[in-house]
Structure 1
């Protein structure tokens, strides 16, 4: 069963990606250390040309990649997605110099990117960011060539000690701002090579007072620590102790960073849905095989109406989610004004659907699905987070309602 919107070439490529994920990426994923960047896996994504497609293809292509990789290797899917999320602002809003320095390394899989938006007190409410970007004048005239005091016992992102000489990592020109505060729940932190960081440049201005910065991991004053999370990839916190940034580090325009964040999320939200659909399809296919072969009550498990109806419901919801994801991605590629609405709907439906499908699959498999190393045990751990990150389900419902009422008022 396939979605009506896909061409034969797209279906063939999706099948090819599943094979590549199973044969070339999954073995590398198995060798990775949980909680740390799997650089060998990222490099293989680069050698296969998949990272390069993040910046040369549209939203639908991104969704097909993420769904296909998620079906056979969720670790590879996540590694690809995080490279895209962290580096897309550089691709879409960066200067020629910024793009020339970082994007070739990202696409080759030799530089790890990260998207640093969330804070301890600003997760879903991104307009409430408190990481401060202060000018030297506002900080009492501190000289821009003074190295900020470090936390010598911490580890800086990228594995460097915070007592590394400042000259080795200082920006090319005098600091215009210094970043002070904390980011939290940042994927790929503290091991990324650079961060897209959102900081408040104008106090009290809400979303209009936020600026996006490209911050290399070795900037003096930037340190990080890993968090013990239910996640196979690293998630950490970043501490900014007067980290120097200049106008050359700005992505887009000063005080217009919220636009950078929302532009990136509008692209990636449907593809989060695609990730979820890939996991749901894997759970569904495993359930079909299990219930068709499992002996129970004098027949096969599939012969029980209570079972077969649940399988039908799993398939129905998975296909509905897939179609909505494809519709949202196609709307993005066509510059449709309904992109925020469609993206929110796709992300909401697909992630909630995947949670239902994987949970039902576990129930129909029984205790074996909870064994460490079982596909469904893995999916059960993986499927929960997408309902939270890049806008929790409750946030997506708020976006949907806001867009609907705005449309009604415009009539």
Structure 2
């Protein structure tokens, strides 16, 4: 498992430490030999395994318990641990939480009772349908429309880069309902994967294979009861969900970086150059020191943001943005150093370091690109001075 001293930090309770240990043991047993060539089937299989292991219970609130909340530290520990073992397993877990997050935080009792047990039980895969071809990080410019028609809403437009697109049974879709201009005129809706008028327009391939798709809504009719929250609350709902789950993206990056550091330590201790272990070279020692510094700095930012949210902070936009920006950018640096130290093996197809190199890049884009995080940090900092 590598360095576990971070578990003794005061951010955590004993149940967090037990969670980290238990999940690591489970992952070492269950997440070996996965077929990454067939991402759809593998994701379905991973969601079933995660549900059977009880790990999806952390991804949503418990609809039977009125006091249930999302524990962000647990979410981060799970994503960090899964990412360290297998990036697709992290993806499968993350989307069950993110995709249903709006229901956990803002859903009616009926919506929670209908959907959250299906998500927790791994019987339905979920998706968070926010991004559009002309509006990625600029959520206020969403154009997909939801027009009220009696007891229904009719959705028309497109979404793109939707994780679990094509295999999800639950889409939380953000659409323009027109209560006001820009961000004030958006609402959130539950759209079943088999809803008439919902089409998978295109499956999208990336350097690290994940289920992704462009969705088309053509007269997609859903009951008005499928709206989450009040009309015009969509932007607030989306930002609140991201406020919870953005820290977990940073945690996944941290997991990738930890794995790269662990693999590098093993490499430099066991690889010999000029008759001595690779680690004897001062330049290599400098690289390892920089990697360790980046990993610990990321962990401090990740778990500070998670601890603040769990401690009752209404918003942690600044802290979550700092965690995501630093952890994803510096995980890229850590993994790049690992590639260099591994030499040819670092770029050999199928090698763990090569896989990490492909996995990390997308994290600097989704749920708010790095430069967008800088804008958030700057605005929040100026607002508090």
Taking structure 1 as the reference length, the TM-score comes to 0.87
Contact 2:16 2:73 in 1 (8 A): no
Alignment of 1:268-283 (within 5 A): 268-283=245-260
Query: Secondary structure, in 3 states, of the residue corresponding to 2:384?
Result: helix
Matched, 1:125 2:138: yes
Query: Secondary structure, in 3 states, of the residue corresponding to 1:120?
Result: coil
- Once the 2 structures are TM-superposed, how far is the Cα of residue 338 of structure 1 from its aligned partner? 5.5
- Quick check: 75-84 or 222-231, which moved more? 222-231
1:148 maps to: none
Residues 16-59 of structure 1 deviation map (CA, whole Å, 9 limit, x = unaligned): 212211211334x3376135662121111001111012224410
- Once the 2 structures are TM-superposed, how far is the Cα of residue 133 of structure 1 from its aligned partner? 1.2
2:189 maps to: 213
Residues 342-383 of structure 1 deviation map (CA, whole Å, 9 limit, x = unaligned): 011011111111101011100110011111111001111100
- Quick check: 42-51 or 292-301, which moved more? 292-301
Alignment of 1:68-83 (within 5 A): 68-83=81-96
Distance in 1 between the 2:260 and 2:230 partners?
Answer: 44
- Once the 2 structures are TM-superposed, how far is the Cα of residue 287 of structure 1 from its aligned partner? 0.2
Which 5+ residue runs of structure 1 have no aligned equivalent?
Answer: 137-143, 145-173
* Count of residue correspondences: 370
1:106 maps to: 119
Distance in 1 between the 2:117 and 2:37 partners?
Answer: 24
Distance in 2 between the 1:336 and 1:194 partners?
Answer: 29
2:366 maps to: 389
State which of 13, 16, 26 in structure 1 corresponds to 2:19.
13
Query: Secondary structure, in 3 states, of the residue corresponding to 2:154?
Result: strand
1:265 maps to: 242
Taking structure 2 as the reference length, the TM-score comes to 0.92
Deviating beyond 6 angstroms after TM superposition, the runs of 4 or more aligned structure 1 residues are none
Contact 1:116 1:195 in 2 (8 A): yes
State which of 270, 289, 307 in structure 2 corresponds to 1:330.
307
Which 5+ residue runs of structure 2 have no aligned equivalent?
Answer: 62-69
State which of 356, 359, 369 in structure 1 corresponds to 2:336.
359
1:291 maps to: 268
Distance in 1 between the 2:39 and 2:60 partners?
Answer: 28
Alignment of 1:9-408 (within 5 A): 9-27=15-33, 29-30=34-35, 33-34=38-39, 38-56=43-61, 57-136=70-149, 174-175=151-152, 177-202=153-178, 205-224=181-200, 225-337=202-314, 339-408=316-385
Say what the alpha-carbon RMSD is for the aligned residues.
1.6
- Once the 2 structures are TM-superposed, how far is the Cα of residue 230 of structure 1 from its aligned partner? 2.3
Distance in 2 between the 1:384 and 1:42 partners?
Answer: 23
Residues 183-208 of structure 1 deviation map (CA, whole Å, 9 limit, x = unaligned): 00000002110100000011761111
Largest Rg, 1 or 2: 1
Distance in 2 between the 1:35 and 1:304 partners?
Answer: 44
Contact 2:254 2:327 in 1 (8 A): yes
Query: Secondary structure, in 3 states, of the residue corresponding to 1:70?
Result: helix
Contact 2:198 2:218 in 1 (8 A): yes
